[in-house]
Amino acid sequence: MNIAVICGGISPERNVSLVGGLAATNALESLGHSVRIIDPAFGSDCIRNKEQITIDPSILPSEDILSLPKQRLLECVMSSAFDGIDIAFMLIHGTNGEDGIFQAMLEAKGVKYTGSKVLASALAMDKVASKMMMSAMNIMTPPWAIAVKSKGDFDDDDALQEIITDLSGSLVIKPNNQGSTVGMTILHRPDIESLRNALIEAGNYADVILIESFIEGRELTVAVLGDEALPIIEIIPEGGFYDYKHKYTKGETAYHCPAELSNDVAEFVQNLAISAHKVLGCIAYSRVDFRLDDEQVPYCLEVNTIPGFSSTSLVPMAAKEYGIEFPELCERIIALS
């Protein structure tokens, strides 16, 4: 097949995406496919070669990259880069790639692509919308509130105090449409000023901010492949906070796969992951994140439609435990798509 691996882009998760793109390119080439690397950040000059991808995934991209116009994405899709391509292997994380925008452009051009379609991608990326969908299907998710920058919610002391009182306890503050914990803050003793500062930080990345109750307990993630849930992974970061640095710096986090859980709890969490995947309309694969409290109650945090995809990322890790090597995983995702 002639496959275009789409990676990079103009989101804060650009560097992580490039690492996954390079890994997928090597895997697909090892299976005999003809692979073209496409980075939409370069507009019509978007075809890259492997030698041009030298990045450190633990470092966020420069402001110069993040400030590039979305028009670059359209220029990329309208160029000749997709001529002769059988399918695009989507590996752009975050905004302008995982949120359905690029998928919609590909559909308009008539290019097939891997993973979830436009609506599911948009719903999963919108944390508030996905929480509402999951709550409607009785999938437990942490209690939440929202703050909107453009409405001046950050400056309303009464509203901030009401959030602190209603949610009570520790809080998680994060942009509504980012991944990889970009712009996220955890407050264990929130007050008006610390909450305002956390909202301002998250507001650097989104206009709508999600404030959630922090669930004390274990961090779990479940990869869904087709209609099956793969082995559960428990994530144990050094220092207790699985932030951007812990995600992408070697040795900062321990992973237990499969997680040490009773059979009943493991099966329940896996079934919840499949339910969350289906309720959002996801296709082919996803990764569903949970917190498991001390009473063994799982709370679904979010669904990732284009999860990290280097050969050592969580979905490939779970697949390998299940007996699926990385190149075969790439092939299965294409077939399921």
pTM here?
0.90
* More confident site: 96 or 188: 188
For 135, residues 6+ apart whose C-beta sits below 8 A from its C-beta are: 141
Residue 66 has pLDDT above 90, yes or no: no
Specify whether 79 is catalytic: no
Strands (E), the chain: 2-6, 34-38, 47-48, 87-90, 144-148, 171-175, 185-187, 208-213, 218-225, 228-229, 233-237, 253-256, 285-292, 298-304
Q: Active site residue: 289, 310, 311, 337, which one?
A: 289
Residue 197 known to be catalytic: no
Q: Please tell me which residue in 11, 96, 116, 180 is annotated as part of the active site.
A: 180
Residue 246 has pLDDT above 50, yes or no: no
Per DSSP, what are the bridge partners of residue 145? 211
- Asked whether the beta carbons of 294 and 245 are under 8 A apart, the reply is no
Whether 242 is catalytic is no
Q: Is 249 helix (H, G, I), strand (E, B) or coil?
A: coil
Catalytically annotated residue among 39, 126, 219, 302:
302
pLDDT of 273 > 60? The answer is yes
247: pLDDT strictly greater than 80: no
Q: From the centroid of its chain, how far is CA 257?
A: 20
pLDDT tens, position by position, 209-226: 999 999 999 999 999 999
- Residues linked to residue 90 through DSSP beta bridges, in sequence order: 6
Closest Cα to residue 190, out of 154, 218, 160, 215? 160
138 is catalytic: no
Average pLDDT, the chain: 92
Residues 96, 285, 247: CA angle, nearest 5 degrees: 65
Q: What Cα–Cα distance (Å) separates residue 220 from each residue in 29, 76, 101, 230?
A: 32, 37, 29, 12
Q: Is 287 a catalytic residue?
A: yes
**Of 308, 311, 313, 337, which is the active-site residue?**
308
Nearest-10 Cα torsion for 281, 90, 329, 31: 150
Task: Give the CA distances from residue 200 to residues 37, 121, 149, in Å, rounded to whole numbers and listed in that order.
Answer: 36, 26, 8
Residue 241 reports pLDDT greater than 70: no
pLDDT in tens, 293-305: 999 999 999 999 9
Is 96 considered catalytic here? Answer: no
Q: Which domains does the chain have, with CATH numbers?
A: 2-113 (3.40.50.20), 125-139+216-336 (3.30.470.20), 144-213 (3.30.1490.20)
323 flagged as catalytic? no
Residues belonging to the chain: 337
Is 203 marked active-site? no
Name the residue among 14, 22, 32, 4 with its Cα closest to residue 311. Answer: 22
What is the share, in percent, of the chain residues with pLDDT greater than 70? 94
Q: What is the pLDDT of residues 116-155, one digit of tens each?
A: 999 999 999 999 999 999 999 999 999 999 999 988 889 8
Q: Looking at 113, 205, 242, 248, which residue is catalytic?
A: 248
Cα 44 from chain centre: 26
258 cis-preceded (ω within 30 degrees of 0) = yes
